[in-house]
Structure 1
Amino acid sequence: MIGISRIEAAAERIAGHVVRTPTVPSPGLAALLGVPVAAKLELLQRTGSFKARGATAKLLSLGEAERAAGVVAVSGGNHGIALAVMAAALHVKATVVMPRSAAARSVRIAGEAGASVRLTDGMDEAFALAARLGEEGLTVVHPFDDPEVVAGQGTVGLEFADDAEELTDVLVSIGGGGLIAGVAAALRARRPGVRIWGVETEGAEAMSRALAAGGPVPVPLSSLVTTLSAPSVSRLTYEHAAALVTEVLVVPDREAVRGSLELAEHAKLWTEPAAGCLLPAARRVLERVGDGARLGLVVCGGNAATADMAEWTARFGLQ
């Protein structure tokens, strides 16, 4: 388990390289949901998502020989962007392996940052290629199965705990589980009474399936939310979720896209569906815990192209 001291150490290490993003009350979301809402705005982070934190924490932990050899990462989008940009800033050569289903914008940004981008037919093939490159001498910067990365993501929870007013329930999106593992470890240490809820989209249910099975299992991927589409969680992230997370809720892609539209309209935030899924889940949390809740939302990223949002809105008949 990742302890609070390790997360605090990661915070000190990455300070000056990443943004301490604001935590703000949202009157618009409070009016929409009927309870106070605080939002941790990781969409304002460098590279547009929380992923810059874990990537930077890992890069700064490397020895001189590892930095010289270079790094490789698998990504559905945000982790690859973060590693490419932060590696360039720290003068480390990076390779990013992405499935062909990854958003064209993400592939372009990773390449423009200077990374060597390799495309594969799917996420399983992407992880296999990254493993081979690791055997050839590159350091694999795993998106979630790495204590340094999880501690880096945990700095989100550290700041949220320090900056938010009273919270009863915090919602965090889940792909492979690195964000919720770190955030849960930090929040449970700083605010022990807070309930933590994970959110996945249908067709990207790696953590909920793992919790049902008693450990990580491979899952078929069909969600349009590629930034949450991990083929399985890791033992590291599973153990944190099993110990620290109240429940993992699963929402349809359509509702995740609708959530992004609602966040734009009511909170004035441009989010990707990986963050939009928090709103339909928040309504379900309120049905369970009642009107006395004070919600916290980790708004994990804003890397959605306008063309993609327009296409999804039309596909699902949303206005």
Structure 2
Amino acid sequence: MTAITLETIREARARIAPYVLRTPTVPRELLRATLGLPVVTKLELLQHAGSFKPRGAFNAMLSLNEAERAAGVVAVSGGNHALGVAYAARILGLKAVVVMPKATPQNYVAGTRAEGAEVVLVDDISAAFAEAERQGAAGRTMIHPFDDPRVIAGQGTMGLELLEDAPDTTDIIASIGGGGMISGVITAVKALRPDIRIWGVETEGADAMSQALAAGHPVRLPAITSISTTLGAPSVSERTLAIVRDAVEEVLVVPDADAVRGVQMLIEQAKVVTEPAAGCTLAAALRLKDRLPRDARLALILCGGNVTVNDIERWRGRFGIS
């Protein structure tokens, strides 16, 4: 496996700096009152395309040679990775094909097309990867959503920013889909501050990392049943499993209802509108608050905000949240 190191993350930061936002890390006093300890939020939902995904996409694409750039890229995604790849490709002038399952929410399909990518709709995620392999055989470079050292290094740049803006952080909570984002953050943060505790969180029905940790190897989920579709990787990789297994304190799994309550609390107390994939970090914080030391300083990575008001209202009705 190609190594992901502090050096490769710093190189990624220099490479992508002209193209991505340095998102703010903001203290939240209302959350502090709720949790009983100081809290900052890393606002990756303000990133281009509404999530952290352009970081890794830009780093991967900027690493291509001239012939690879001319041939274009292909990605598989039913969520934020699609938007991130499409955005980065448009800015860099690359042709992008994004293969999506037909069940992908329409806002992601429309957003990806609006960024200029060609969208290919297929029956399911297995068919999507098969089509991406066919596109790869025709010459396009696959931009994997999480199992690519260039992508992971790009995502890790947010860890460098977080420590610069909140150097007294003792605990970080990050959500997990395929594990690329948390793997990059782990690599950056632990190289600089090995004492920091990092906690992962998944939602029930999108818990590929938890199942892999229990089994000792990646496990393919038969279906993604969580509303947190942006956490819906069918499995993690050997690479991301190894990084998480070696460095994360624990991966918590929370119900969808708690993730939606987290979204609502973040609207009310942090004044940001997030996806359930970010709302679940607050759900995890509520579970951890009595387990953390009294001098803990907590950071929540709010990974994305690609959600509509109608989505939130539908989820609140489904789970009886007033």
Q: State the TM bucket, normalised to the shorter chain.
A: over 0.9
- 2:173–2:200 Cα contact (<8 Å) kept: yes
Counterparts of 1:78-93 in structure 2, within 5 Å, are 78-93=80-95
**Structure 2: any 5+ residue segments left out of the alignment?**
none
Q: How big is the shift at 1:163?
A: 1.1
1-structure distance, mates of 2:315, 2:122 = 24
Q: CA deviation at 1:239?
A: 1.1
For 1:55 and 1:97, locate their aligned partners in 2 and report how far apart those are by CA, in whole Å. 15
Match of 2:303 in 1: 300
Are positions 1:207 and 2:209 aligned together?
yes
CA deviations over 1:170-199 (Å, ceiling 9, x no partner): 000100000000001111011111100011
How far 1:225 moved relative to its partner? 1.0
For residue 161 of structure 1, the aligned residue among 153, 156, 163 is: 163
2:192 maps to a residue whose letter is R
Over the matched positions of the two proteins, sequence identity in percent amounts to: 56
How far residue 101 of structure 1 moved from its aligned partner, in angstroms, is 2.7
Report the alpha carbon displacement of residue 123 of structure 1 after superposing the two structures with TM. 2.1
Amino acid at match of 2:51: S
Of 296, 307, 316, which aligns to 2:319? 316
Query: Which amino acid is 2:308 matched to?
Result: A
Structure 1 gaps of 5+ residues are: none
State the Cα distance separating 1:272 from its structure 2 match.
0.6
Instruction: Report the counterpart of residue 278 of structure 2 in structure 1.
Output: 275
Note the aligned Cα RMSD (angstroms): 1.1
User: What is the Cα deviation at residue 34 of structure 1?
Assistant: 1.3
Contact conserved, 2:39 with 2:297, CA < 8 A, in 1?
A: yes
Amino acid corresponding to residue 147 of structure 1 in structure 2: P
SS state at 2:290 partner: helix
Note if contact 1:32-1:266 (Cα within 8 Å) is conserved in structure 2. Answer: no
Instruction: Give the Cα–Cα distance (whole angstroms) in 1 for the partners of residues 28 and 208 of structure 2.
Output: 30
Among 214, 227, 232, the alignment partner of 1:224 is: 227
- Match in the other structure for 1:259: 262
Q: Structure 1 CA distance, aligned partners of 2:6 and 2:66?
A: 27
Partner of 1:245: 248
Residue from 224, 236, 243 that aligns with 1:233: 236
Aligned pair 1:172/2:179, yes or no? no
Contact between 1:24 and 1:40, CA under 8 Å: does it hold in 2?
Answer: yes
Q: Could you say which residue in structure 1 is the equivalent of 2:108?
A: 106
Deviation string 1:251-292 (CA, Å, 9 cap, x unpaired) is 111111111011000100110110000111111222322433
Once the two structures are superposed, the pairs formed by residues 28-47 of structure 1 within 5 Å of their partners are 28-47=30-49
- Provide the TM-score with structure 1 as the length reference: 0.98
Q: Distance in 1 between matches of 2:254 and 2:10?
A: 33
Amino acid at match of 1:252: P
TM-score scaled by length of structure 2: 0.97
Which SS does the other structure have where 1:277 is aligned? helix
CA distance in 1, matches of 2:126, 2:169: 38
1:66-122, CA deviations, whole angstroms, 9 ceiling, x for partnerless residues?
A: 111110111121000011011011000001112223221111010011101112232
Could you list the structure 1 runs, at least 4 aligned residues long, displaced by more than 3 angstroms after superposition: none
Structure 1: distance between partners of 2:231 and 2:195 = 27
